Structures are given as structure tokens and as C-alpha cells.
Amino acid sequence: MLVDSHCHLDFPDFDDDRDDLIVRAVAAGVKQMVTICTRASAEPTVRAIAERYEGVFYAVGAHPLNVGEDALMSVEQLCAYAEHPKMVGIGETGLDYHYDKWPPAMQQQSLRTHIIAARDTGLPLIIHARNADEDMARILREGYDEAPYTCVMHCFSSTRALAEAALDMGFYLSMSGVATFKNAGDLRAIFADAPVDRILVETDAPYLAPVPKRGKRNEPAYVAHTATIGAQVYDMTTHDFARQTTENFHRLFTKVPALESSVA
């Protein structure tokens, strides 16, 4: 059994075959998934998807590339969302300096708000980081030193320094299809040096389809391909790696019930 710890099932890419996508995921052994809300205005749609499918859960946050499109979320707003039984994480949030879309100060303000909400709710923080490693490590550490919280570095593809900073705080690293790419040897080496009990797997669907599906629309079923590469990185059987990452997921996402039934 596998869990897709991060996907975007509300995106229009899936409007024509969302039901079939869930069936394919179950057939591939992906019995649970977390669909991620990236802006406040999308929360009702994301929540409805989670309510429709038994094994689908959701998280709410403001993606750093969306922070200026809606009013900045408040701690109170995020905590209110967290009262829903299937709302299991805070985010995704973070910093993205690759695109010059919103000022770093605005992104950092939003990130700090999400950190407080993660502490207040006890739910894991879900982090997006791109070209902002120093600020990211500093802000996460400042928040952690005020009061501990749990966190996953989603779709981790940053530097070894950021990986080590996250692991030092007890955080998790999530392996996406990027780790399967031919030119991702350095990234696989970072994962290989991380404790396997701190690793999750994800698709980030519809983006970043793993080899051998690279270049196609990604979907939760394809997390099985990433798990195959992850097993090779850790010199484990695919079965054992799937079991380990599923255990890791449930240790972090404590509101998600143990894997016992299908998504249907």
C-alpha cells in the first residue's frame, strides 16, 4: 500500500476523469492521498473532493505564488478550516523566489502565519521551497525555536543544507517524480543520506510525472514509480519501502486513519 502525500485533485487537468483517476490509484495500491488547497478561494472545491472520496484528505494553505491573489490567510482562518475531520495539514505554504511574482516580505509574512497555525492546530506544515533556501531555513528555525511543530518539505529538490536543517528539526522530506529523473543523481544522494523513517512519497499531480511517465500528466497512481526508485535509493524492496513511507506518513499526518480500506 502507498500514500500520495501531495497532489492537486481540484486542478482542471482532472475535471474529465477524476472518478477514473481514483480507481486507477487504488488499482496501483495508492489507497490514500492528500489533495492540497493552494488558495483560500479554492477551499470549498478542495473540501468537496475530499468529502466525496473516502481515502482522500486535504490540506489548506496559500502557495507562495498565490499570496497576493487572495487576502492573506489569518491564523484564525486556518485554524477554523482545521476543524473539518478530513482537513489534515497546513499548506502548502513557503517561499518561491524563482519567479518575481510577489515580494519576499509578503511570502515570508504568509509563511510565518502558517507556522503559527501549524503549532496551534498540531497539524503538519507543508512547505514549498524554491530558490529561497537560506530564508526558508532561517524562518522555519525561528518558528521552531519559539515552539516546536511538525513539517514536511514537499517535493524536496533543494540543497543538502536545507535538507539537513529540516532533518535537524525532526521534519520530513517528500520524494516526488523529480527524484526519478536521469539528471537527479545529486538529489538522490541527498535522500540516500537522510533517515528512511523521515521520507514520504508524493506525485504533486498533475505536475512532475516520474519516469517512465515523464512528460505526461501526472496522477496519484504514478507514485508507485517514484516508490520503485526510492526503494533503490535505500537498497530496500519496493514492498518494504512502501510500507516504511506509509508508516512515516501516518506518524506525521495523525488525523488520517490507518490504511485499512480503499478509496472507493
Q: Quick: pLDDT tens for 112-129.
A: 999 999 999 999 999 999
Backbone angles phi, psi at 167, to 5 degrees: -65, -35
Overall CATH class of domain 2-252? alpha beta
For residue 263, pLDDT over 70 is answered with no
106 in Cβ contact with 117 (< 8 Å): no
DSSP E strands in 51-162: the ranges are 56-60, 87-96, 125-130, 151-153
218 in Cβ contact with 204 (< 8 Å): yes
Percent of all residues in the chain with a pLDDT value above 70, rounded to a whole number: 98
pLDDT category of residue 260 using cuts at 50, 70 and 90: low
pLDDT at 192: 98
Higher-confidence residue of 261 and 197: namely 197
User: Where do the structural domains in the chain lie, given as residue ranges?
Assistant: 2-252
Kindly state the DSSP code that residue 60 receives in the 8-state scheme. Answer: E
β-strands 172-175, 151-153: how paired? parallel
Contacts of 198 by beta carbon, 8 Å cutoff, 6+ apart: 167, 170, 171, 172, 173, 248
Mean pLDDT, the chain, as a whole number?
96
Residue type, 23: V
Cα of 244 vs its chain's centroid, Å: 17
Q: Which residue is it, cell 482545521?
A: 82
**pTM, rounded to two decimals:** 0.96
- Residue of 29, 17, 20 lying closest to 222 (CA atoms): 29
C-alpha cell at 9: 485533485
